Amino acid sequence: MAHPDALTFAVVFIALYVAHSVGDHWVQTSTQSADKGKAGWTGRLADARHVATLTATKLIVLLPVAALLGLHLSVLGLVAGLGVDAVSHWWADRRSTLARLAGALGLGGFYALGTPAHPAHPVTAKGTPAAHLGTGAYALDQSFHHLWLLIAAVLIATV
């Protein structure tokens, strides 16, 4: 039989994953999305507002799920898990930080994939940048967030 923390981890991770998707794509405002990567306090504050609403979304999803399924989550575990997730999310969403990490890991070309900065970017028949779904930057951003969701779920389930 699985350890009770394993079941708690699984439920918490699923709830955080769904809430992350909703908070990052439906709750985040266009202004937050456009401004969070800007230099200075404009970017820092836009990113902070985004992370605040994202973290609230995660709580709004997680707490009822935990209550309905009878999970016992500690306040310390919630603070630790959501705190680590929030800090890591804020760091990555400043954009230049994640771009530097990708470059340092040899992923700068993938980071630029799907943007006019990439030498093989998609173009229209007229040679202008073409619309497309997704970028390397987006894929790296989301996978970075998913890693920290996993860490957050472990903390929430075990602390």
Q: Which two tokens stand for residue 114?
A: 């799907």
Length of the chain: 159
Name the 3-class secondary structure at 70: coil
Tell me the residue range of the domain where 149 lies.
4-158
Chunked mean pLDDT (size 10), the chain, 159 residues: 85 98 96 95 97 98 97 97 98 95 93 75 76 81 97 97
- pTM exceeds cut of 0.85: yes
Q: Which two tokens stand for residue 96?
A: 């230049």
Specify the number of domains making up the chain: 1
